[in-house]
Each structure stands twice: as C-alpha cells, then as structure tokens.
Amino acid sequence: MGESILTAQNLSKVVPSAEGELTILHPLSLELNKGDSLAIVGASGSGKSTLLGLLAGLDLPSQGEVILAGRALSTLDEDQRARVRAEHVGFVFQSFQLLDSLNALENVMLPLELDGRKDAREHARHLLERVGLGQRLSHSPRQLSGGEQQRVAIARAFAANPDVLFADEPTGNLDSHTGERITDLLFELNKESGTTLVLVTHDERLAHRCRRLIRLEAGHLVGPLEP
Amino acid sequence: MARLPLLRLLSLAVRQLLRDARAGELRVLFFALLVAVAASTAIGYFGARLNGAMLLRATEFLGADLVLDGSSPAREEQIKVGTDLQLQHARVVEFASVIATDNGIQLSSIKAADAAYPLRGELKSAPQPYAEEQPGGGPSPGEAWAEARLLTALNLKVGDEIDIGSKPVRITRVLTYEPDRAGNLYSLTPRVLINLDDLAATGIVQPGSRVTYRELWRGEAPALEAYRQVIKPGLEANQRLLDGRDGNQQIGGALGKAERYLNMASLVAVLLSGVAVALSATRFANRRFDASALLRCLGLSRRETLWLFTLQLTVLGLLASLAGAVLGWLAQLGLFALLHDLLPADVPPGGLIPAIAGMGTGLVALAGFALPPLAALGRVPPLRVLRRDMLPIPASTWTVYGAALLALGLIMWRMSLDLVLTFALLGGGVIAALMLGGILLLGLQSLRRLLARASLPWRLGLGQLLRHPLAAAGQALAFGLILLSMALIALLRGELLDTWQNQLPKDAPNYFALNILPADKDAFGAHLMTLQAQAAPLYPVIPGRLISINGEPVQDIVSKDSSGDKATQRDLSLTWAANLPADNELTAGTWWTQQPAGDVPGVSVEAKVAESLKLKLGDHLMFTVAGVNREAQVTSLRSINWDNFQPNFFMIFQPGTLQDLPATYLTSFYLAPGHDKEVIELSRSFPAVTILPIDALLEQLRSILAQVTIAVEYVLLFVLAAGMAVLFSGLQSTLDERIRQGALLRALGAERQLLVKARRIEFGLLGATSGLLAALGAELVSLVLYRFAFDLPWHPHPWLLLLPVLGAVMVGGAGVFGTRRALNASPLTVLREG
C-alpha cells in the first residue's frame, strides 16, 4: 500500500569503547510507507534511541543507509541533512525540549518563523487551540505542567506539517492518565494530517496503538510483530 | 549558501533577543557590557575633557592656544588663513632696546602688543611698585607699563616719560605679570610693554634688526588643527608654531604622566570588562546548547544557527554599547558638575570620539571574548536532543585564547599607541597566567589528598572546587585578574601623586634673583642669609650664542621645531661651575675634576639640547660672548630635572674659561609667604638686582596638579566600581550549578547552616587564591609599568599581601550572597527548573 517514505537498509552502529569496539545496533532493515505508524520497543540500553537518531538523520550509521523522503542520508552533509529535517521531519521528545525563554505560543511559532511563514502567529495559535491550550498561549514552559508542555511540543512538531514525526518516549515523563491523553492527541493529529509516525517507547499500551511494532534487545532486532 | 536570507535571520535574532531579554536571560551579559562601555566612555570623556582643561590652563603660559613665532613678520596669507578660520588673533612684537634717562641707561626688553593681547590669561599690573596688583587691561597708545626693576634701575616713578627709540611714552602702571612670561624665566632684561600702535613711531624695527614677531591665535581645537595643517608646510626658516605643551616644561611633564595614567585606567576598565564579558558570554553559550541542538533538529544548518546567535550577540552588543556610552557620558557630566568649583568654567566638551571609542572597545571586547564560546554553539551535535550528555567538541584552545589576546592587544595598542609596552604587558601577562595557573592546578590536586579526612562542610566546599580543578583554576585566574587590575590602579595612583607632590616640595623656590653684580654678590648672599631664605648657589651668567659646531654654522644643522632650535635662536645663559649642580645627572662623559683646563676648555651640555643639536662627546662648539668668540669641547652630557624651579643651564663651562668676561649672578630662593616687606627692602638695598616672584607660576602649577589629582582619584573610584560590578556578574555566571547542588542537598535534608558554611569555604578559598595571584601579578606588572611607561623607581609593596584577605572577603561574601536562592527558594522549584 502507498509509497515508501522511510527506508533503512542493513543499518548498524558501532562505537569505540574502553574494551574495543562496541556494536550498539546490529544490522537491521525496515521500510515505512506514508501514513504508517511504527513503534520501537525495548528495555533501556537496547538501542531504541540510537535507531531513532539514525532514522531521523541526527546521527550517521557505521554501515548501511537510511533513505528519508527519497534522499540517501549518508550522501548528505550535516547541513543538507538539516534541510531534509526542516522540510520533512518533526520531533517530540521525552524531555519536551521547549525553549525556556519563549512562551508557549513562541515555541510553536519557532519552526514556522524559521520557514519564513507570514501567518506564523495565527497558525501557531490555531495549533495550540487544537491541543487544548488556547488559554495558555503566553505561559512560559516553567509555568506549564508536564502534560501541557508535551502538548506544546506536539503542536510544535505538527506546525511545519512534517511527512515523518519522530517521537522519543513521548509519555516517558508523564503519569499514566496524562500519558494516555497525550497518546490520544498524538494519534488524532497523525490521522488528521496523514503523517508517518515513528515512536520509541517502553509503554506497551502505546506501542500497540501503532500499526507496526519492532522489538530490540541489546541492539538486535528480535522480530517485527504485525499488530 | 544559507537557506535563510540574512534579513530573515536578523529579524528572527531580534525577536529571539527580545524574548530572551524578557525572560531575564541576558541580564548578566548586558550588564557586563554596559558597565564596561560606561566605564571606559566616562573615563575617556573625563580624560579628554580634563586634558583639554589642563591644556587650556597650559595655554595661559603662552597667552594663546597657538602661536606663530618668527624673526620676520608673518606673511599676509598666514594671517588670512587664521582669520578665515574665525580664530581670534592678537599680535605681539618683541625686541631689545636701550632706555636712556638722566640717571643712566638700561637695556630693556620691549613688547609691543595690540589690544587683543593676551588671548589666554591676563596681564597683571599695579599703580605703584610693590602695591597690590590688579588683573586685566593693557597700555593704551602713548602709554608704557614697565617692570618695577626698570624703575629701580633708572630711578623712575610712575608718571615719568621715557623714550623707546624715537617715541616718547609715559609710564602709567607697573607691570607685575605677563601670562606668557612664565616659560621664559631667564630673560635678564626688564620688560616694558607698549601699545602696538606706537611701534612704527619708535623707528627701532627696521629690516635686519633682531625682532621676534608673535601671531597669537585662539579658537576651537578643530579650527586650530586646521590652521596648523595649512600653515605648517609654508613656514619660513625663522618661523615655528608653539602650543600649550611647548609653553612650559613642567606642565608638559605633568600632563604627559596624567594622560598615561588615564589611559592605563581605561585600559584596566576594558580588561575588567573583558573578563566579565568572557564569563557571561560563556554562560550565554552554555545555556543555549539545548536551543542550538533543537534549532538544528528543526532544520537550521550549522551556519544559520551560528549566524542566528552571532546576530543576537551583535544586536545585544550594539544596544548595550549605546546605552553604556550614554550612561558614561552622563556619568562624566555628573562628575564635572561635582567638580565645577575646581575646574575652569569653560571645560571644552569631549566631542564624540570618547563615546565612539568606548563603544568600539566594548564591541571588540565582545568579539574577542564572546565569539569563541559562541563558536561552540555551532558545533553542538543535533543528537543532543536525544542525549543530553553530548557536548560540542571544544574549540582549539589556541583559537579561544588567541582571539581574546588579539582583542586585548588591539585595545591596548589603541590606547597606549606603544607596541613595546603592549607586548611587554601581554607577553608578561600570558607567561604569568600560565605559570600561576600551573602552580594553582598542582596545589588543588595536592589538596585532594587531604579531602577524604576533612569534615563535611569542607568536603562539600572544597570538593566543589576539586571536582573541576581546571575550571576552578580558571575562575581563580579571572577573579585574580580583577583584583590585580584594581590593585594596580590603586598602586599607580599613590605612586603618581607622591611623585607629583615631591616634584613641587613645599619650599620650592618662589623668587628668582637676577642681575646680581659681581661687586654685590657676597653682600647679596649675606642678606639672604639674614632673611633665613633657603637659597640656591649663586651662578654666574653670561649671555652668549652658539654659532658653530665643529666649524659648521648651527643654522645648517639644527632641525625646525626642536628645542635645539630654541637653543640657537636666542641668547643662552652660559655659566661655569666646579661641581655638578644638584638635580643634574650625567648621562655621558665625565665631570671635570682637575684644574686648570687643557687647551680647549670643556663644556657640559643638557642632554635633550645635545640630542637635537646632534652633539657628541668631543665636538667643538664655538660661542660668541660679548663680541668675542670662545671655543669649547663637549666633555659631558647632563639630564636636568626641570620640575625643581632651580636655576638650570643648557651649557655649563669648565671654571676659568669665561671668568674674564663681564658676568652677573643669578640665584633662586624660598621665602615663606608674608615677607613682602623684606623682599621690597632687599630690592631697595640692591637696586640693580631683579627680584622675580614666581608664586603665580607655582600656584598655577599647583592648581593643575590638584586637578590631575582629583581626576586620578575619581578615575580610581570608577575602576573600583567597575571591578566590583564585574566581580559580581562574573560570579553570577558560575552559580547555576551551585544553586542546583544546594537545592539537592536541602532536598536530602541538609541544614541551611551547613550549606552556608560550605559556600563560605568554597568561595573564601577561591577568593583568597585569587588575591594571592593578584598580589604576585600586581608586583610583576607594576615592575614592568614603572620601568617602561612611567619612569618611576620601583620598590616592593608589602600591603599587597592584604589582597588574599580582601579577595576572600569579597568573593566569599559575593558567593554566599549570590547563592542565597539555593538556601531560600523551595528546593523543588530549583530542581524542576534544571
């Protein structure tokens, strides 16, 4: 079904360590189509975040290739990869990564301003209303609860209308009730905008809401599981 | 090519800056820059304006701002240039003439001046000899103002008529003070001042007669400079330009030293600001690692990220500099308002240059000190958004310190315009910093062994320092530099003031006695003894002129505008002496010890004159003295302390070489104020002797030194204030981690008292170490400065050992104060912010 947006071929990552070379990700391949959703699950240190970083082009693999939106990332330099991110990718992080000096509205405006959009303020306001924070526009991150901060981050991630949304433990810092509401929001927006979703989590309930799921153990893929 | 146009980045940067500012993120950096620029602008203005005021005072010694002096009349176009520039103009013609009456004849120095003279300062005169003097005015046509000694010599009184050449004039007042006489104390003949309108009628000034023409100018500095530039290329061989600095050697020396001190002080202010900017810019960069990584995730390229932050800093720098310049300008206005009783009413405004220089200094410091930490932002890996522990690859140490040193060097060079001094200070500073830093690091590491057995507050306080010994050493060096700068400025202030005070001892001579006849010599000396006056020896004086050097006429050798020129353009006061006069120092050759002289007698020449006449030991000089030619050979060169107000001579002959020629004697003496009667009596007992009071000159000099002293004190205050501010803002930048740690400890159940104790230990130790470094550094730097910049004798300063105590108190107090948030705020709030 549909066309491929993200492909990983024989992806592996090796880092130097005190005891010689350490393989933190053993070769794996996968392919995602537009509108797909993928959960990467595993214990701490299993290589989940490493895989996410490689898929998003934040880091380069030791071997193998990632093709994101038709571009082979290893052939691009860091600035060209940055442009691919700007045009095709959005992020949601476990630690929210909001800028303290900006209020909620300005944090959401940031990617729009970088894109030079004239309606940045309007669009950001609309998005914040969509995630239920219409009354909190001028609050600084410190004045918001964890769940509210993550909603701002989600609004920011969807602001630039990305093809692929990478989420790293999006509910990791939240209580289960809030986590659930954030998850609902994430999937609603994903459905509305037709974005491809890649999320790293050890929350099995969140993982099972994705169409596809892979499990990592000590850097090994222990089996793709179809839902 | 960047994806985002510069303009969009700029607008983003400005918006980001406003948001950061609103969030209070930029306070420290902004404040550091503000203080830096304000301090250096205020000092710049204060220095420039005070210098202007002092020059103004100095111009009084010249009677004008600028004088065109020549032995032929100035050409029409030379006058027109000045009047076209709207400069005020006055004309003076000076010549010597014999005044004859029934009572005798007296060679006199006639000055014919127009009504505009003098342009700076005032004439003073009295209705009768020794009556109270009044300032202002000048002789009208047909009138003459004569010095009292002329009246004494010729037995004249006010109201009598004398002939100047073929023009009869009536003496209407006694001339007591001419502003432009001060620079020329040694004129031996009494002065008669007449109106310029009477000059032609005297019939004395004919082509070929020896006359000095002086065109006096007064006006704004730019116009004067323009005049100087236009006039200079077309000067005749006999013409030269004089300004305030040429007017008087003593004033020139004091001004030079004051200027250097003020420059040093601004330099120190800049140094302090550099430290503050470096500290706060590093903090600025460190707190933006996350933002930088996030922006890269959002698709900004490395270059764009870097540009974004650079633009932010640039805009911030410009705003802070502008505000600082305005603040500095206001501060100096306030300062001058405070001092208005002591300063002349018409202190010239400083212009825009000090403000621009202050802003430039701030921006260069920002570039040199802030760009290296900023560059690290461009290297933050975007992966940091997933892994907080990923830090940017540090910049090469050479780049970081190279940029800072380059910035410092540029600023220092601009301020001192002295490459040797700049290199000496910078090089010495770097070597000292490396050595002291190394020792400090070793010391800290050896402390680590003691740590395990220490009590908890010590383990906490010391542990904080030992955990990052490199950072601790860096901080100690930075605070050390601040303390060092403040100590140095305090040190120099004391030293300079002492030197100045010593230059003008309380009993500096306040009278000169000239024209003492050989027959009166012993009696005069005895009379002075009975007055208990402190007198210099009596020196014989013979007017003579240097005509050739090694057979070559002097005019062919001497360069224009040099003091050598002065030495050949007019009669020199020649003397002989068996012993080297006090305050003279031989710089070459030997003083004569044996008598009598060889075939060609020896002469000792003042070193600066010798330099401008290109004289070497062994050169043969020919003088014409009272119509006779006398040859002498240069046997030694001397430097003279011009500040001592003693009789000083350019040329001193070997005894026995001029004795056969007619001489008079000269001396100076000090008589406590309130002895006017005795002076009048002395003058009546020796009518031929000229007694010149120089109180007015001394008073003027003292008032200038008093101004300089006030300036120095205020500048010191400025530097100290800037230093304190910088110390606090510098400390601020190291507090984040400590506040967090404090909150954590409190969350774990630590009592406030324990935390306060640990902080005191940590910051007290840091301060004491900084103070120790500062004490060592200040001694080193002062050694270099005294030698090369100020020409002062150096000796150790034990009081510098107070610096470690001072450092412990200041840094300790500021540290505890700065981290009080960790003690008072809810630990949860602090921890959640991290």
Grade residue B742 by pLDDT with cuts at 50, 70 and 90: confident
Grade residue B561 by pLDDT with cuts at 50, 70 and 90: very low
Least confident of B25-29, B34-38, B64-68, B648-652: B25-29
Rounded percentage of chain B residues whose pLDDT exceeds 70: 76
Q: Is the pLDDT of residue B395 over 70?
A: no
Q: Given an 8 Å threshold on Cβ–Cβ distance, is A111 in contact with B298?
A: yes
Task: Please report, for residues B471, B486, B632, B728, B806, the alpha-carbon distance to residue B812 in angstroms, rounded to integers and kept in the order given.
Answer: 17, 18, 70, 11, 10
The residue with greater pLDDT, B659 or B68, is B68
Q: Given an 8 Å threshold on Cβ–Cβ distance, is B297 in contact with A49?
A: no
- Which amino acid is located at A22 in the chain? L
CB B160 within 8 A of CB B134: no
Chains A and B form CB pairs within 8 A to the count of 83
Grade residue B563 by pLDDT with cuts at 50, 70 and 90: very low
- Any B CB within 8 A of A99 CB: yes
Q: Do the strands B104-113 and B191-195 form a parallel or antiparallel pair, or are they unpaired?
A: parallel
Residues of A in Cβ contact (< 8 Å) with B6: none
Average pLDDT for B771-794:
79
- Any A CB within 8 A of B10 CB: no
* ipTM value > 0.95: no
CATH superfamily for domain A4-225: P-loop containing nucleotide triphosphate hydrolases (3.40.50.300)
Mean predicted lDDT score pLDDT of chain B: 78
Residues of A in Cβ contact (< 8 Å) with B298: 85-86, 110-111, 114, 160
Structure confidence at residue A7 (pLDDT) = 93
Q: How far apart are CA B756 and CA B484, in angstroms?
A: 27
Q: How far apart are CA B45 and CA B357, in angstroms?
A: 10
**Which 302-321 residues of chain B touch chain A by CB within 8 A?**
302-303
Q: How far apart are CA B169 and CA B145, in angstroms?
A: 10
CA distance, residue B344 to nearest chain A CA (Å): 51
Q: Is the pLDDT of residue B182 over 70?
A: no
Q: Is the pLDDT of residue B44 over 60?
A: yes
Helices (H), B417-507: 419-451, 456-467, 469-503
Q: Which residues contact B678 (CB under 8 A, 6 or more apart)?
A: B531, B671
Domain residue limits, chain B: 1-61+251-417, 62-247, 422-509+696-834, 511-693
Structure confidence at residue B712 (pLDDT) = 65
Q: How far apart are CA B634 and CA B615, in angstroms?
A: 8
Structure confidence at residue A49 (pLDDT) = 85
Q: Given an 8 Å threshold on Cβ–Cβ distance, is A53 in contact with B3?
A: no
Q: Given an 8 Å threshold on Cβ–Cβ distance, is B298 in contact with A87?
A: no
Q: Given an 8 Å threshold on Cβ–Cβ distance, is B294 in contact with A97?
A: yes
Q: Which residues contact B115 (CB under 8 A, 6 or more apart)?
A: B138, B195
Q: Given an 8 Å threshold on Cβ–Cβ distance, is B832 in contact with A103?
A: no
- Any A CB within 8 A of B385 CB: yes
- Testing the interface with A: which of B294, B298, B388, B832 to mutate, by most A Cβ within 10 A? B298
Q: Given an 8 Å threshold on Cβ–Cβ distance, is A114 in contact with B300?
A: yes
CB B162 within 8 A of CB B168: yes
Structure confidence at residue B12 (pLDDT) = 81
Structure confidence at residue B93 (pLDDT) = 92
Rounded percentage of chain A residues whose pLDDT exceeds 90: 32
Grade residue B722 by pLDDT with cuts at 50, 70 and 90: low
Grade residue B831 by pLDDT with cuts at 50, 70 and 90: low
Q: DSSP letter for B817, please.
A: H
> What are the mean pLDDT values of chain A's consecutive 10-residue runs (227 residues total)?
84 86 90 91 86 88 92 86 86 83 86 82 92 89 88 90 90 84 88 90 86 90 63
Q: Is the pLDDT of residue B250 over 70?
A: no
Q: How far apart are CA B652 and CA B126, in angstroms?
A: 37
Structure confidence at residue B326 (pLDDT) = 93
CA distance, residue B821 to nearest chain A CA (Å): 17
Structure confidence at residue B188 (pLDDT) = 57
Grade residue B388 by pLDDT with cuts at 50, 70 and 90: low
Helices (H), B786-819: 803-818
Q: What angle do CA B656, B660, B663 make, to 5 degrees?
A: 100
Q: Given an 8 Å threshold on Cβ–Cβ distance, is A101 in contact with B19?
A: yes
The residue with greater pLDDT, B183 or B335, is B335
Q: Both tokens of residue B798? A: 């034990």
Grade residue B560 by pLDDT with cuts at 50, 70 and 90: very low
Residues of B in Cβ contact (< 8 Å) with A170: none
Q: Given an 8 Å threshold on Cβ–Cβ distance, is A114 in contact with B15?
A: no
Q: Give the largest Cα separation in chain A, rounded.
A: 54
Q: Given an 8 Å threshold on Cβ–Cβ distance, is B388 in contact with A95?
A: yes
Residue of B nearest to A158 (CA): B298
**Which 116-175 residues of chain A touch chain B by CB within 8 A?**
116, 140, 142, 160, 168
Residue of B nearest to A100 (CA): B23
Q: Is the pLDDT of residue B556 over 80?
A: no
Residues of B in Cβ contact (< 8 Å) with A93: 385-386
Q: What angle do CA B446, B450, B454 make, to 5 degrees?
A: 150
Nearest to B71 by CA among B247, B246, B243, B236: B236
Nearest to A99 among B8, B291, B299 (CB): B291
Signed CA dihedral, B790, B794, B796, B798: sign only? negative
- Any A CB within 8 A of B832 CB: yes
Helix axes B419-451, B397-416, angle to 10 degrees: 140
Nearest to B765 by CA among B444, B424, B412: B444
Average pLDDT for B179-195:
69
Q: Both tokens of residue A94? A: 């476990």
Q: What are phi and psi of B175, to 5 degrees?
A: -80, 125
**Which 61-80 residues of chain A touch chain B by CB within 8 A?**
78-79
Structure confidence at residue B2 (pLDDT) = 45
Query: Cα B103 to the chain's mean position, in Å?
Result: 52
Task: Please report, for residues A165, B82, B194, B200, B422, the alpha-carbon distance to residue B114 in angstroms, rounded to integers and kept in the order given.
Answer: 92, 17, 9, 13, 49
Q: Given an 8 Å threshold on Cβ–Cβ distance, is A114 in contact with B23?
A: no
Q: Do the strands B66-70 and B240-243 form a parallel or antiparallel pair, or are they unpaired?
A: antiparallel
Grade residue B521 by pLDDT with cuts at 50, 70 and 90: confident
Q: How far apart are CA B833 and CA B831, in angstroms?
A: 5
Q: Both tokens of residue B196? A: 């310029």
- Any B CB within 8 A of A85 CB: yes
Q: Which residues contact B216 (CB under 8 A, 6 or more apart)?
A: B62, B63, B64, B66, B67, B89, B90, B91, B92, B116, B117, B118, B119
Grade residue B266 by pLDDT with cuts at 50, 70 and 90: low
CA distance, residue B826 to nearest chain A CA (Å): 15
- Any A CB within 8 A of B834 CB: no
Average pLDDT for B527-550:
82
Least confident of A111-115, B287-291, B345-349, B486-490: B345-349
Average pLDDT for B721-749:
69
| pLDDT tens readout for residues B310-362 | 888 889 889 999 999 998 888 888 777 766 665 666 667 778 888 888 888 78
Nearest to A86 among B294, B299, B381 (CB): B299
